[in-house]
Amino acid sequence: MDPVPPLPDQPRITNATLSDVARAAGVSAITVSRALNQPHLVRPGTLAKIQAAVRETGYAKNRAPAEHGTDRSKLVALILPTVANPIFADMVQAASDKLTDAGYQLLLGLASYEVWREEILVETVLSRRPDGIILTGTLHSDNTRRRLQSISIPIVETWDLTPFPIDMLVGFSHEEVGNTVAARMLTKGYRRFAILTADDPRASRRHLGLQAALGRQGIEVVATDVVPTPASLQLGREGCARLLARHPDIELVICSSDTLAQGAMTEAVSRGLRIPDDLAILGFGDLNFAAHTYPPLSSVRVDGSLIGALAAHAIVERLTGVPPAKRMPAVTDTGFQLIERGST
């Protein structure tokens, strides 16, 4: 995917009121209030007009009282796709611990892998006047990107890499994960690859990297099966069953998560297949059960604790006035590690 260049800053009206938004949107103040607090109750067309008016006016209602005469809320928001995926748990805990030690509290929001939900959630979060925001990923709507570039609080994007972060970035390259997996598995002699993936844009980028690397060696992925998010063991079993029904001669299934991989292993064993002799399986995330499946699951290890701690540290450095020359880099690549075990 081509990088998205930064968008120009938009002017912000810092004293905009609910009535200003209502006038700009051509609706009542009550409708604006409902859209901001219960957006699911507002018709999509009306909601879109109100969102545009919020961006135009720069409105963000302040529900947080000033503390000791300052405008600090002592809140830092972390926006995740879901809490159903355990891969994010270490990140949340590490960020919370780091922020608590510095006197801040974590405010958690869930965007459900949808950029439009993230856009609404960002507006809701901003109404709490957070001192900083941590985002998951770098794929946002243009409106979200403009909105966040127009405010003065520190923003950290995580779990990805891009040359054009909104502000700061802590993460790794999903495309490089795909490249590394392809290179390593090719050296082991695998040639008939299949992909079992959740409908997740970051997983898609890993698999595009995998397919590109295989393509350079003249190899095509035999089959791909996409399941809805969040991933589950059941979806892994069902997805593996569909792959084997269409292509019983596949040699290796690359899964977008350890959860799907565990399901795929269960399905393969239930059919009497030997792992890895008849079918090899690779996961992603190196969750705490990966080393204890039978056989132990090969996976890509990502240090979620490090990502969470560094993201929180970057926020705290900015809030506590650490001089720019002494701060951590604006972009930090935490890398990843391919862990080979018995399943490959």
Domain ranges of the chain: 12-59, 67-172+306-335, 174-301
CATH number belonging to the domain at 67-172+306-335, selected among 3.40.50.1220, 3.40.50.2300, 1.10.110.30, 3.90.550.10: 3.40.50.2300
pLDDT bucket at 67, cuts 50 / 70 / 90: very low
Question: Which pLDDT does position 63 carry in this prediction?
Answer: 44
Asked whether the predicted pLDDT for residue 165 surpasses 50, the reply is yes
* Lowest mean pLDDT, pick from 36-50, 90-104, 137-151: 36-50
* Domain topology for 12-59: 434 Repressor (Amino-terminal Domain) (1.10.260)
The conformation of residue 295, written as its DSSP 8-state character, comes to S
pLDDT at 18: 78
CB 7 within 8 A of CB 164: no
Residue 198, pLDDT above cutoff 70 = yes
Same fold, 12-59 and 67-172+306-335: no
What does the pLDDT average to over 280-301? 97
Report how far apart the first and last C-alpha atoms of the chain are (Å, whole number).
Answer: 29
What is the model's pLDDT at position 15?
61
Strands 223-227 and 193-198: parallel
Average pLDDT over residues 332-336: 98
Tell me which of 37-51, 144-158, 299-313 is least confident. 37-51
Q: What does the alpha-carbon distance between residue 306 and residue 171 come to, in Å, rounded to a whole number?
A: 9
Coil, strand or helix at 310: helix
Grade residue 128 by pLDDT with cuts at 50, 70 and 90.
Answer: confident
pLDDT exceeds 90 at position 38: no
| Contact between residue 282 and residue 255 where contact means Cβ atoms under 8 Å apart | yes
pLDDT at 71: 62
Q: What is the DSSP string of 40-92?
A: GGS-HHHHHHHHHHHHHHT-----SPPBTTB----EEEEEES-SSSGGGHHHH
Percent of the chain with pLDDT over 90: 72
DSSP-assigned letters across all residues of 236-254 = HHHHHHHHHHH-TT--EEE
pTM: 0.80
Domain 174-301 has CATH 3.40.50.2300: yes
Instruction: Give Cα separations from 302 to 29, 40, 306 (angstroms).
Output: 46, 35, 9
Query: Positive or negative CA dihedral for 75, 77, 82, 84?
Result: negative
* 49 has a pLDDT exceeding 80: yes
Tell me the average pLDDT of the chain: 90
Q: Is the pLDDT of residue 20 over 90?
A: no
Comparing 50 with 308, which gets the higher pLDDT? Answer: 308
Say if residue 3's pLDDT is above 50. no
